[in-house]
Amino acid sequence: MREPQSAIAISPIRSFSSIRVLSMFNRLKLAPKFTVLLLLIFILGSAVGGLFLSKALQYQAEGKVNAEGLMLMEAMQAVRRYTDQEVLPILERYENEAEFWPEMVPAYAARRTFELMSAANQDAADPLAGDFDYRYKEAVLNPTNPDDLVDEFEATLVQDYLDNPEVSSQSGYREVPGEGLYFYSSLPIIIRDESCLVCHSRPEAAPPAMLAIYGRENGFDWELNQVLGTQIVYVPAEDVFTGARQAWGGVMGLFIVVFAIALFGINVLLKPLVIKPLQGLAKLSEKLASDDIQTVEELDQAESRKLTAVVNRQDELGQLGQVFQKMVNEVIARQQRLRQQIRDLKIEIDQTRKSKEVEEIVETDYFQNLQQKAKEFRSRKADEDEADS
């Protein structure tokens, strides 16, 4: 029961945090809002794009290493063919039962060639030498040399070639105990030349000197066109990941630089093209609200150039300026009409008030007595004038 209560308790906190962040965002001005939105888009886009880019670059790095491994194995196969076709016929002239020359064996020639190549590329004194972390092995199910015996993983690869004859190569990752993760590329080893069966068909047909070195138990009963093992090249997985990370870092670094330049450019252009025109309209609205502008002439003096510049634009902001200008003119005209109506109403009220005051004076007893006395005085004056005449 406690876990649901904790979830319920956390939910209002998250809601409050979201509301607080949204409130802070709403208080920002237009330019910072654009910057924040662009940054959020950049972060989200970088996360998604970086993930896909990392996968793509790792796949590309794996393909490159795999291609190099296959090329290396093809080179070793060329060494094997050269040994079998060019070297072996010459050495057979001097062969005797007392000596066995490993140089006659194509697999030995391929392995020694690889060892010499590896030693040359790992020579620290050679400025042309590079990193050469490849490992080469001809892993066979039934080898003459015990060093060529397949391990459990390699036996699985060989079995895949036996079960699926259409498979021509394999690659992937494997964990080598005590050494770490390796990327491998492999090709099947198939006997296609009958000359190889001279030494590997039956122990009785093999040279006595070879039997004296390797014995009669292993390396026999091979058959033509049979998958005997796998030719395999190992590369430390860290080399693959390092190449992919370097490529990813370069691309993302370039992307960040381009975005920073774009963000700076947008902010620089945003102020004169959007922010300042909107600020001019806002100031004009404030002056209208505070009744600082009462006539069209005063409007022409206040922010007229800025408003004209906005109205003359052909974009959406220009349309807004045109609508705003029309609204301002209507507001000023309406205010002028309202002021005239107020003046007319004030004059009418003053006249009515004066008439009412006069009426109130006339209706008083004092004014009635005064008016009666004036009437009597005028009557008496008229009688006197008649008497004198």
Strands 227-236 and 170-176, bridge-based pairing = unpaired
Distance in angstroms (rounded) separating the CA atoms of residues 237 and 233: 12
**Contact between 145 and 166 (Cβ < 8 Å):** no
What pLDDT is attached to residue 298?
59
Q: How far, in Å, CA of 49 to CA of 56, rounded?
A: 10
| DSSP assignment of 116-136 | HHHHHHT-TT-TT------EE
What CA–CA distances, in Å, run from 373 to 197, 297, 358, 378?
Answer: 164, 60, 19, 8
Q: What is the pLDDT of residue 307?
A: 66
Q: What is the pTM of this model?
A: 0.56
The one-character DSSP state at 205 is G
Tokens 């390396």: give the residue: 219
Nearest residue to 240 (alpha-carbon basis) of 154, 171, 138: 171
Tokens of 318: 């220009």
Largest CA distance in the chain: 193
**Assigned token pair, 123:** 């020579």
The count of other CB atoms within 10 Å of the CB of residue 230 is: 27
Q: Please, are residues 143 and 162 in contact by the beta-carbon 8 Å criterion?
A: no
Three-state DSSP at 314 gives coil
Q: Is residue 180 classed as helix, strand or coil in its secondary structure?
A: strand
CA angle 233, 236, 241 (to 5 degrees): 120
Looking at the chain, which runs of residues are DSSP E strands? 135-140, 170-176, 180-190, 227-236
* pLDDT number for residue 343: 81
Distances in Å between the alpha carbon of 109 and those of 30, 66, 81, 140, 220? 74, 23, 10, 16, 20
Instruction: Give the pLDDT of residue 156.
Output: 94
Distance CA 373, CA 200 (A): 163
Beta carbons of 237 and 180 less than 8 angstroms apart: yes
How many other β-carbons are positioned within 10 Å of the β-carbon of residue 84? 17
The whole-angstrom separation of Cα 266 and Cα 28 is 17
Q: What is the mean pLDDT of each run of 10 residues along the chain (389 residues)?
A: 46 62 71 80 85 85 84 88 85 74 83 85 54 83 89 93 92 87 91 76 79 83 89 86 83 86 81 75 72 60 62 74 76 78 81 77 75 78 72
Distance CA 285, CA 295 (A): 14
Q: Do residues 231 and 73 make contact, with C-beta atoms less than 8 angstroms apart?
A: yes
| Burial per residue of 103-137, b for 16 or more beta-carbon CB atoms within 10 angstroms, e otherwise | ebbbbbbbbebbeebeeeeeeeeeeeeeeeebbbb
Tokens of 366: 């004092």
Count other Cβ atoms within 10 Å, centred on residue 43: 10
Close Cβ partners of 98 (under 8 Å, ≥ 6 residues apart): 209
Q: What tokens does 234 get?
A: 């190992």
Q: Around Cβ 296, how many Cβ atoms within 10 Å?
A: 13
Tell me how far apart the alpha carbons of residues 203 and 354 are, in angstroms, rounded to a whole number: 145
